[in-house]
Amino acid sequence: MQEKQIAEFNNVCKTFYSKEGEVQALKDINLQLYQGEILAVIGSSGAGKSTLLRMLNGLEKPDTGNVIWQDRDLGRLSPQELNATRRKMGMIFQHFNLLAQRNVLDNVALPLEIQGLPRDKARLKAHELLERVDLSDKAKSYPAQLSGGQKQRVAIARALSTDPQLLLCDEATSALDPATTQSILELLKNINRELGITLFVVTHEMQVVEHICDRVAVMDEGRVVELRSVRELFKKPQSSAARKLIYPRGELLNRSYEGARLRLVFDGLSAEEPLISKIVLEAKVPVNILYADSKNIEDKTYGQMVLALPDDETAAERVLALLKREGLTYSIDKNNKGEFNGY
């Protein structure tokens, strides 16, 4: 990740008013975006994620505070300057926003034509972009003839047509099935690596964060409650909003067990260690596995496992001592409520 800052939110607040009353969408947001990184903004519906994105491209203006893009305050730009700035930002939407009456090639070429590029040159560049997103064979097809994943690839090619420095992704994979989501995420990751384009990703899906992002800002009720690397967030989430996103859902746990639970986080070589065998043989404690999964984060395998913590305090202490000796990250849910604490 490069350390050159390209955008910044300084004490940004935004309130919307309606007949039902006022809604504080953003509350004192301070956030930096660095060139070449993939930053995720994640949270539940209504957390303020999309409002934050619309602040970055100038579609919304803060009530207080300011949004800086490449050392310029967006709120002080003229309409012409703001339009020029937006051309440096490509936008990818959840529902693709393709024009049904134009074929794939013409959909990709449209932004270039609007900027005044001759039609033949716009179409030539559109062909090159379709090749980048592996859709050269669909140039003459129309949106109705495409799958959801193909439509999103067209939308990505269109977003790249103006040579943006930043891609704004607003729930770009939410309408796609898991397999297609994976392929789109791989494409976005390759675009980031090969072209050096910064990505600002708004999502509520942990899969997106785990697969491609460098840092993640967790939003809750209009505030950024946590801002960390993806690796650190997964290992030690500090906010309740982050814990809800990362810890296994209640339906994944064995609810027949009513005692305390132990959550382990492992990565790298620790994932290869025979941990369960060590607990059984060295700590002399039988193991009841309630939940386990693994994830790929930053091209490394991470995992988490939820075990039943022995009721016997001496046995529990032996298990925790072993985990500390092995250097593993762990947390404890003493009340069986999914609220893991005490790293």
Annotate 226-295 with DSSP letters as a single string: EEEEHHHHHH---SHHHHHHHSPPGGGS-TT--S-EEEEEEEGGGGGS-HHHHHHHTS-----EEEEEEE
Q: Which amino acid is at 285?
A: V
pLDDT digits (tens, 9 = 90+) for 45-67: 888 999 999 999 999 999 999 99
For tokens 């993640």, the residue is 216
For tokens 């007949």, the residue is 19
How far apart CA 161 and CA 159 sit, in angstroms, is 6
- Give the mean pLDDT of 170-178: 87
pLDDT digits (tens, 9 = 90+) for 89-144: 999 988 888 999 999 999 999 999 998 899 999 999 999 999 999 999 999 999 99
Q: How far is CA 230 from CA 39, 179, 183, 262, 263, in A?
A: 9, 22, 20, 22, 18
pLDDT at 1: 45
Buried/exposed 83-109: b ≥16 CB within 10 Å, e otherwise:
eebbeebbbbbbebebeeeebbbbbbb
pLDDT at 9: 97
CA angle (200, 202, 205) in 5-degree steps: 130
Write the DSSP symbol of residue 333.
E
Pick the CATH number of 5-244 from 3.20.20.70, 3.40.190.10, 3.40.50.300, 3.20.20.450: 3.40.50.300
Question: Two tokens at 221?
Answer: 């009720």
- Beta carbons within 10 angstroms of residue 148's beta carbon: 16
Q: How confident is the model at residue 343 (pLDDT cuts 50, 70, 90)?
A: very low
**pTM for the complete prediction?**
0.81
Residue 341, pLDDT above cutoff 80: no
* Domain spans in the chain, listed from the N-terminal domain onward: 5-244, 250-333
pLDDT at 242: 85
* Domain covering 250-333: architecture: 2-Layer Sandwich (3.30)
Question: Two tokens at 224?
Answer: 């950024």
Q: How far is CA 240 from CA 72, 246, 339, in A?
A: 35, 10, 8
pLDDT at 300: 65
- Beta carbons within 10 angstroms of residue 168's beta carbon: 22
- Give the mean pLDDT of 262-273: 64
CA angle (179, 226, 329) in 5-degree steps: 75
pLDDT digits (tens, 9 = 90+) for 233-249: 887 788 888 878 876 55
Sign of the four-CA dihedral 133, 139, 141, 142: positive
Write the DSSP symbol of residue 171.
S
Could you please report the per-residue DSSP string of 89-130?
A: EEEE-TT----TTS-HHHHHHHHHHHTT--HHHHHHHHHHHH
Of residues 340, 301, 341, 307, the one with CA closest to residue 322: 307
